[in-house]
Amino acid sequence: MRKTILYTLLSIAALVMFFPILYAFSVSFMTSEDILNRQVIPSAPTLDNYRGVLESVPILHYLMNSFIVASTATLGMLIVSALAAFIFAFIPFKGRQAVFLLFISTLLIPWEATMIPNFLTIQSLGWMNNYLALTVPFFALAFGTFLLRQHFKTVPHELYEAAQVEGLSHFQFFYKVVVPYAKTSFVTLGIFGFLTTWNMYLWPLLVTTNDTVRTVQIGLRRLQADEVATNWGLVMAGVVLVIIPTLILLAAGQKQLQKGLTKGAIK
């Protein structure tokens, strides 16, 4: 009885929540007649929309850009956060608490409140339409530093002793012992970083004025503006191409992400 109720609730909820995504997939395979007739399932599935979207906008180029931006930003985020986390976990010095507070204080600054000066900075550095503008500002991340520090602090004392016996330097201890030990937190932060940078919208809109480094999110906006009046199937094919990478990543890393984010949220 209880099980039946639960399964019913779960199924209804899943259907409602997932409907927009399923619908986007479905429309992307529809002919224009199907779309006009407001079909839910394509009567004669076709790949024309995908062919069309590949021809009408440089979507593969945008995807490539997004991939470069998201991977670089993620990698940078992991390295910069890990270095800072290492100090906060292992190297005591007078004033460390104050520096830690400085890191915390960045959580109080909404990114949008700084976008005007940041835009001016990027202009004066000559980074407009450059990958640097889309990646470097996101390398330092207080949340990432805390997440890694939490995990670094659990490194067993024996490992530290063993490292000293072996005569490892701090840096060797860092990358030979600590990094492999906290692998799961790196994975969590990596997934999180990739998802957020892949999905960025406002910043790429500001710092890209042509197609050279434009990411797929902004490409989608252009596609939508150009094609909406005429061809929804084509726009949805574009949407599907954009969401597939992150949906796969999420499905693969969901458990990991949940554990990691919860730790970050509660601690």
Which of the stretches 43-51, 53-61, 182-190, 253-261 binds other proteins when contact is defined by CB under 8 A?
A: 253-261
258 binds other proteins (CB under 8 A): yes
41: contact with other proteins by CB under 8 A: no
Helices 142-152/59-90 angle, 10° precision: 50
Q: Which of residues 59-98 bind other proteins (CB under 8 A)?
A: 79-81, 83-84, 86-87, 89-93, 96
The Cα-based distances of 6 to 11, 17, 76, 254 in angstroms read 8, 16, 43, 22
- What six digits make up the tokens of 259? 């554990």
Give residues with Cβ within 8 angstroms of 45, minimum separation 6: 29, 30
Residues in binding contact with other proteins, number by CB under 8 A:
98
Reading phi first (left if > 0) and then psi (alpha if -120 to 50, else beta), residue 126 is in: left
Return the range that interacts with other proteins (CB under 8 A); candidates 41-49, 51-59, 103-111, 182-190: 103-111
Q: Is 261 in the site for other proteins (CB under 8 A)?
A: yes
Shortest Cβ 88–other proteins spacing (Å) = 9
Site for other proteins in 216-235 (CB under 8 A): 217-218, 220-221, 224, 228, 232, 235
Q: Is 129 in the site for other proteins (CB under 8 A)?
A: no
The answer to whether residue 159 forms part of the interface with other proteins (CB under 8 A) is yes
265 lines the binding site for other proteins (CB under 8 A):
yes
Phi, psi values for residue 64, rounded to 5°? -60, -45
Separation of alpha carbons 123 and 251, rounded Å: 38
